[in-house]
Amino acid sequence: MSTSSVSKGCFVFKPSAKKKKKTTTTTTTTPSLESHFSRGCEGAESSETRFKLCQDLWSKIKTDTEVLQDELHRNILDSLLDFTRKCSSTRQHSDWASQMRASEIPTAALVLGVNVPDHDMTFQSLSDLLQQSVTPHVASVQAKECGALKHLMKRVLEKFMGAVVDDDDEEEEEAEHVSTPLHSSMHCSLSALCDWYITKTKKSSSGTPGRKRSSPVKDEPSQPPVVIIFKDLEAFNPTVLQDFILICSRYIERLPLMFIFGIATSPSTIQHMLPYSVSSLLCVELFQSLSCTQHLATVIDKLILTPHFPFKINGKVMQVLISIFLYHDFSVRNFIKGLQLALLEHFHSQPLSVLCCKKKEALPNVMQLSQSDLERIRQLPSFKRYVEKQESQAQVSLMTDDAHLKEVCRRLIKDLRKYHKNYYPILRCLHTLTSSLPRYPLGKQIRELHLICLEKNVWENEDYQSAMKLLKMLAKDELNASLQKCADILQPVKSKKLKNALVQLEEHLARFKQLDTAATAVAPGGEESITSPAKKLQKKTDLFQLQKTLLEMNESRRAKKLSPFEILRNEALDFIDTLVKSHLSPPESQTLHEVCYYTSSAAVRRHLNAAPRTSIQTALSTPYYYLQNDSLKTEDGTVSNAAPDICIAYKLHLECGRLINLYDWLEAYSTVVSAAEGNHPASDNFGKVDEVKHARFIRAVSELEFLGFIKSTKQKTDHVARLTWGGC
């Protein structure tokens, strides 16, 4: 095979006689996470307290997230456990042959969705549950480890038997590893696994003492199944998978095998990858997991739309995290990592985040604020707006008296907690009323409504006005059911204002129930007032009289009295509108909201949605940005001659045109390197190209070609083509 690389050569790597794997434990002194946290942060005097608050808050979020994910996956994992138990018990009874052929392998097709980064956590939970309650013999394999049938067989045997298999050829090391049966190709087969399984089951049935599992199983079968989990079925080589299934089908009578296929796309993948002659050997049962969008909605509902966690993100940051989720990976795990990044950045960059904690911790921390922290509070935009609304004497006290400022901050922190306690229940009530309206004027998901409320006053939105008009067209049963859901939302909330709101809402519901039992009386003469002008139309009349009669009919329709239900419906919706205007104002309207809200969406986007080419160009043009070496500090647009070779070559190539002469490039590079070595410009060796400089230059040019900055060209033999813009 030919190569188009700038550097061509032949390299020989002589294999060692024996690959020695050494496990050495080295103790290195590395800075603690706390020192990294305090490095470069503003307000270092409170960095320890902020770091502890950040750790405690993240531990709480992580714990709640794990519990939430276990609850979400409980149904699918319980179904898989029941499937494995059923297959295991069926095999040990006489009805094995009646329910499936002897050569069929029980297979669970687990459709997890395209959120691949989240699959590892699901499979880990599944493996743990299987080992605790069904069988100790569980092995998970990935496609990147099993490029060939031999590799797949080795990985499976390693997982079950606990042996270590080197990647070297067995023929070279056969003499050195005679004691290990797996190192002989004739023993690397399922027959060895069968012998191992028989030995294991005999030991367990004979009562040989061994290591106890964390959760012993009652009535454990004497022949527990051997479960193989294929984490990423689509990535496996179809030929390798087919051969492995064919081999396993020959041993199914001796070995109780069971497969679990992790599928990211569609169950039809099995038919596409396996021909009928192979797929007929599998007894497949389909399992569908919860969609990633539903998972995300639950995570947002439990972690973000709750007053239990004092840390909050504003609308722009939340929009960035949701956009990365929807347009990149559909990974809830990465969404939570983005939330963790925002949490860490907030406590690192905001000195006043020492107040971002629970009320019982925040109030004492207010009294311990330093003079610089109090000045930071006075400079907050929200606090400046608060001061402007006060009287002149109160303004002077707030700006000069530190003790008075601390007392006011304690009260403002309490008000901020009350705001969050009232905000989220009313948000859920509004979402309950509007989520079923046609075309979803305020969004189908509650996160969409939350984003609208974070931006501005929601009642000033045109979509809100449309939603209220649609609500006034609801039937009695629909409106009554929605209001009852709102009452259920407000029921557990411990807030005086919302308790009063609940009492008023229950009164409206009681009045709705009275309408069902009370007799509705028709207003006397109401129908007459409408139809009496119509009787005049039956008489002969002129054009003027006709116009007058039609106007009277229109006015009579307008003067029609509202029914008791319509009156009560309008009163109920006006009450909901009052609650919205009282409690759903945006967070920016609250004083000291900067303490709890993280607003730097650019930092989140830069860390989570990075541009690789921009980062590479920054590293090559400004190596000090990454290496933090003082000798690399230069003025803008220049590169130090002590920079790495690739940085020097990159800077020199920017000064060239579309085609770069390699010899001229080499001479310029040699001149810069000679200056870095301290050679005098008047010396004979200055700028001279020797073998070492030549080799370093070729390596730097090859790295630039690998990164995509240059390429070989056939226009001139000693030139390369530049692929970046700019230059001469």
- pLDDT at position 223 is 81
Q: Are residues 348 and 434 in the same domain?
A: yes
**Looking at the domain assignment, is residue 603 inside a domain?**
no
Whole-prediction pTM value? 0.78
**Looking at the domain assignment, is residue 327 inside a domain?**
yes
**For residues 111 and 288, is the Cβ–Cβ distance under 8 A?**
yes
Is the predicted pLDDT of residue 249 greater than 80, yes or no? Answer: yes
Look at 3-12, 42-51, 328-337 and tell me which has the smallest mean pLDDT: 3-12
Q: Are residues 509 and 378 in the same domain?
A: yes
Supply the range of the domain harboring residue 636: 612-722
Give the CA distances from residue 715 to residues 578, 666, 711, in Å, rounded to whole numbers and listed in that order: 76, 19, 12
- pLDDT at position 20 is 45
Q: Are residues 312 and 269 in the same domain?
A: no
Cα–Cα distance for residue pair 7/712, rounded to 1 Å: 10
Query: Which CATH number is 274's domain given?
Result: 3.40.50.300
Q: Are residues 98 and 144 in the same domain?
A: yes
Using the Cα atoms of residue 699, residue 705, residue 710 and residue 716 in order, give the sign of their dihedral. positive
Question: DSSP 3-state assignment of 103?
Answer: coil
Query: Which CATH number is 654's domain given?
Result: 1.10.10
Q: Are residues 225 and 120 in the same domain?
A: yes
**Looking at the domain assignment, is residue 452 inside a domain?**
yes
**Looking at the domain assignment, is residue 546 inside a domain?**
no
Cα–Cα distance for residue pair 601/461, rounded to 1 Å: 24
User: Which of 243, 265, 290 is the last residue before a domain boundary?
Assistant: 290
Q: Are residues 286 and 305 in the same domain?
A: no
Please, how many CA atoms are within 13 Å of residue 660, restricted to the half-sphere of its CB? 28
Q: How confident is the model at residue 547 (pLDDT cuts 50, 70, 90)?
A: confident
- Other CB atoms within 10 Å distance of the CB of residue 437: 18
Q: Are residues 375 and 489 in the same domain?
A: yes
In percent, the amount of the chain with pLDDT more than 90 equals 50
Cα–Cα distance for residue pair 323/329, rounded to 1 Å: 10
pLDDT in tens, 441-493: 999 999 999 999 999 999 999 999 999 999 998 888 999 999 999 999 999 99
**Looking at the domain assignment, is residue 306 inside a domain?**
yes
Cα–Cα distance for residue pair 312/368, rounded to 1 Å: 23
Q: Are residues 399 and 415 in the same domain?
A: yes
Could you give the angle at the alpha carbon of 679 between the alpha carbons of 674 and 683, nearest 5°? Answer: 110
- pLDDT at position 15 is 56
**Residue 688 region, left (φ>0) first, then alpha (ψ -120 to 50), else beta?**
beta
Q: How confident is the model at residue 97 (pLDDT cuts 50, 70, 90)?
A: very low
The domain total for the chain is 3
User: Which of 263, 290, 317 is the last residue before a domain boundary?
Assistant: 290
What mean pLDDT do residues 355-369 have? Answer: 92
User: Which of 252, 275, 290 is the last residue before a domain boundary?
Assistant: 290
**Taking all residues of the chain, what is their mean pLDDT, rounded to a whole number?**
82
Q: How confident is the model at residue 530 (pLDDT cuts 50, 70, 90)?
A: very low
Give the CA distances from residue 555 to residues 522, 531, 560, 609, in Å, rounded to whole numbers and listed in that order: 19, 12, 9, 62
**Looking at the domain assignment, is residue 728 inside a domain?**
no
What mean pLDDT do residues 169-181 have? Answer: 41
**Looking at the domain assignment, is residue 715 inside a domain?**
yes
Phi (first) and psi of residue 645, to 5 degrees: -60, -40
Q: Are residues 579 and 699 in the same domain?
A: no
Cα–Cα distance for residue pair 350/341, rounded to 1 Å: 14
**Looking at the domain assignment, is residue 274 inside a domain?**
yes
pLDDT in tens, 613-636: 888 888 888 888 888 787 777 776
- Determine which helix (DSSP H) or strand (DSSP E) holds 317, and give its type and residue range: helix 315-324
pLDDT in tens, 318-327: 999 999 999 9
Q: Are residues 250 and 375 in the same domain?
A: no
Q: Are residues 178 and 301 in the same domain?
A: no
Q: Are residues 458 and 594 in the same domain?
A: yes
